[in-house]
Structure 1
């Protein structure tokens, strides 16, 4: 068994600095006592908006908290998260794929509006159910961007009807300012590099 090396002067300074930081951090944390259902927005041009949101859904599943997912756009695409949830966790996480693909693929605005409206009705039903601690509205920001759904209706519902303990996560680039204004947590994914620009296609396990 290797011996523990003796502490140096740098080690002592580091320990003192971290102890001071812990005292300050503990003081801040002691003031954070509120608990509430959050409105969470993942937006931006970078990859990872839905992936991060599904990470929270799987956290809820791990904590035995009921949750639900409504996909507004990705109907025709493979989705590993959907397959896993439906196969293993359908009893604790409802999953609804309501969209039929990205708008440039369907090329039918009337149909897109119809499907987005149906997805929003399902979303409201799931959010109103107080048993659902988290509801993910995947790619709803795209439907809002193209005005398939009225952002004012979404804002009014989240503000006035969302149960106090329910978290709602809304993903998709180009989140509208009205939504950002009422959100508790907003993260913008910034695109720095993406393999697609170098001719690499979407790959299983990374993109879906």
Structure 2
């Protein structure tokens, strides 16, 4: 590149970015609504719960009351739960209602009872409109196994969720009917996973 070409490249770049900003500003100016979102993180890839907890920590950082209900995860220590309960319990209610994955409990009736109790807790937290966001962690798994009525969950979110409350639902295999009513859906795709190479779940990454 010669010296006289460089300024032209810079001018072209600046002109392109100015047009892009103008177009972007026009789009942003048209987005004026606010509402409580139904958010789904699903898919076979990692990061569904981690992304959801990222939003919970944003709420905490903005001093916005929020809550977490864990439908499947049992008594295992996790970094996010330890941090929230130890330091932010005044802003974020944390309820671990599950007893682990169904192959661990090997008791379907107990799993169903735990899931139903978690759903009752979730409904109470969502109906409390002081909560800006409620995370229903791994609820999609409970729905997939039929532990909770999908129709009831959809009806509740459509008719009883406060207008400005965000509800986040995580877990693989989100039902199509649930995806249909959601405002934001992210499918985490799996490309590589260390577990397939014999590497176990590790602190700081998985929990």
Q: The TM-score by the shorter chain falls in which range?
A: over 0.9
Indicate the residue corresponding to 1:122 in structure 2: 121
So what's the TM-score if we normalise by structure 2?
Answer: 0.97
Residues in 2 aligned to 1:180 and 1:146: alpha-carbon distance in whole angstroms: 17
After TM superposition, give the deviation of residue 7 of structure 1 in Å.
Answer: 5.9
SS in structure 2 of the partner of residue 135 of structure 1:
strand
1:178 CA displacement:
1.0
Cα distance in 2 for residues equivalent to 1:67 and 1:201:
32
Q: Map Cα deviations across residues 8-67 of structure 1 (whole Å, 9 max, x no partner).
A: 221111110000000000011110000000000000000000000000000000000000
Superposition deviation, residue 75 in structure 1: 1.2
Number of the residue aligned with 1:72 = 71
RMSD over aligned Cα, in angstroms?
A: 1.0
Q: Post-superposition shift, 1:113?
A: 0.3
Alignment of 1:147-166 (within 5 A): 147-166=146-165
Q: Which runs of 4+ in 1 moved over 6 A?
A: none
Post-superposition offset of 1:116: 0.1
Q: Which runs of 5+ in 2 are unaligned?
A: none
CA distance in 2, matches of 1:150, 1:61: 31
| Deviation sequence 1:125-153 (CA, Å, 0-9, x none) | 00000100000000000000000001000
SS in 2 for 1:77: coil
What number of residue pairs does the alignment pair up? 203
Aligned equivalent of 1:47: 46
Instruction: Give the match for residue 30 of structure 2.
Output: 31
**Cα distance in 1 between the residues matched to 2:75 and 2:65:** 26
User: Secondary structure of the residue that 1:21 maps to in structure 2?
Assistant: helix
Separation (CA, whole Å) in 1 of partners of 2:39 and 2:109? 29
Report matched runs for 1:44-193 at 5 Å. Answer: 44-193=43-192
Partner SS for 2:186: strand
Q: Using the TM superposition, name which of 32-41 and 103-112 deviates more.
A: 103-112
The equivalent of 1:3 in structure 2 is: none
Distance in 2 separating the partners of 1:34 and 1:136: 22
TM-score of the pair, normalised by structure 1: 0.96
With 107-116 and 69-78 compared, the bigger mean Cα shift is at 69-78
Higher mean alpha-carbon deviation, 72-81 vs 54-63, is at 72-81
